[in-house]
Amino acid sequence: MASTTPRSVIWHDVECGGYAEDLALWRALAGEVDGPVLDVGAGTGRVALDLAAQGVEVVALDLVPELLEALRARAERRRVSVETVVADARSFDVGAGRFGLVIVPMQTLQLLDGAAARGEFFDAARRALRPGGLVAIALADALESFDGESDGLPEPDVAVVDGLRYVSLPLAVVDEGDRAAIHRLRQVMGIIAPVEEEHDIIRLARVDAVALADEAEARGFEALEARRIPATDVYVGSTVVVLRG
């Protein structure tokens, strides 16, 4: 029987849902401010649901409605409250001066295409922040190119949903100048052989913490000391740029 779970939800969970190394940092930052937290690029709720379970008031923002529908269902099952908003990270309007903290986990900001788009995000975040509120943005530390043919392949991300095995295998990181293209092979496996497969590419902007802080200060933010999320055997580390509005 075919799964009733949208593929966008399944692949998001397979490739992102198991990451937990950053959760302690988002909890700590939420404890440093007054007011709700806005989670930009919330997906199926990996961070938002964790914060809500700690008693934090959270609004989850994402561009993909199916991901937020899954988040709402999970929040209901866990008996926590999370408000959801379908919106673009470059143009959201969730109420002026409402939030004590805006977080952008897991390299979400690097999905935006260039400095102009990041500037639009900064303007939207400033509108949303309370005076003195914080913005915290995770940037991938290591986007070095690799090719599975010569460097070997990392372990795939795997999950079983409704009797099917979903496998996401990183193939390569290709240098495209100002972006890094992350190539993955996504396979849906039946009992014996793949039922289907696709080649997926995600492109991340190459922007470092210093350059991002400079862009933010040009939009009226004050750059604070950056935070670190160490690398693991499975995930690259992150530098978290912290800004005061």
Lowest mean pLDDT among 49-53, 81-85, 188-192: 188-192
Highest mean pLDDT among 128-137, 146-155, 188-197: 128-137
For residue 138, give the nearest of 18, 21, 11 by alpha carbon: 21
Rounded distance between C-alpha atoms, residue 207 and residue 111, angstroms: 11
Contact by Cβ (8 Å): 167, 193: no
> Does residue 181 surpass a pLDDT of 70?
yes
Average pLDDT in the chain: 92
Mean pLDDT of 49-74: 98
Rounded distance between C-alpha atoms, residue 236 and residue 87, angstroms: 28
Q: Residue 236's pLDDT band (boundaries 50, 70, 90)?
A: confident
Q: Residue 155's pLDDT band (boundaries 50, 70, 90)?
A: confident
* Spatial CB neighbours of 100, under 8 Å, sequence gap ≥ 6: 33, 34, 35, 36, 37, 129, 130, 133, 134
Contact by Cβ (8 Å): 194, 188: yes
Alpha-carbon distances of 39 from 85, 138, 206, rounded to whole Å: 10, 12, 22
Q: Are strands 99-104 and 129-140 parallel, antiparallel or unpaired?
A: parallel
Residue-wise pLDDT for 111-138, tens only, equals 998 999 999 999 999 999 999 999 999 9
- State both tokens at 73: 């269902």
Rounded distance between C-alpha atoms, residue 41 and residue 10, angstroms: 16
DSSP the chain: ---SS-HHHHHHHHHHTT--TTHHHHHHHHHTSSS-EEEET-TTTHHHHHHHHTT--EEEEES-HHHHHHHHHHHHHHT---EEEE--TTT--S-TT-EEEEEE-TTGGGGS-SHHHHHHHHHHHHHHEEEEEEEEEEEES----EEHHHH-PPPPEEEEETTEEEEEEEEEEEE-SSEEEEEEEEEEE-SSSEEEEEEEEEEEE---HHHHHHHHHHTT-EE---EEE---SSS--EEEEEEE-
- What is the reported pTM? 0.93
Unique residue bearing structure tokens 């240098």? 175
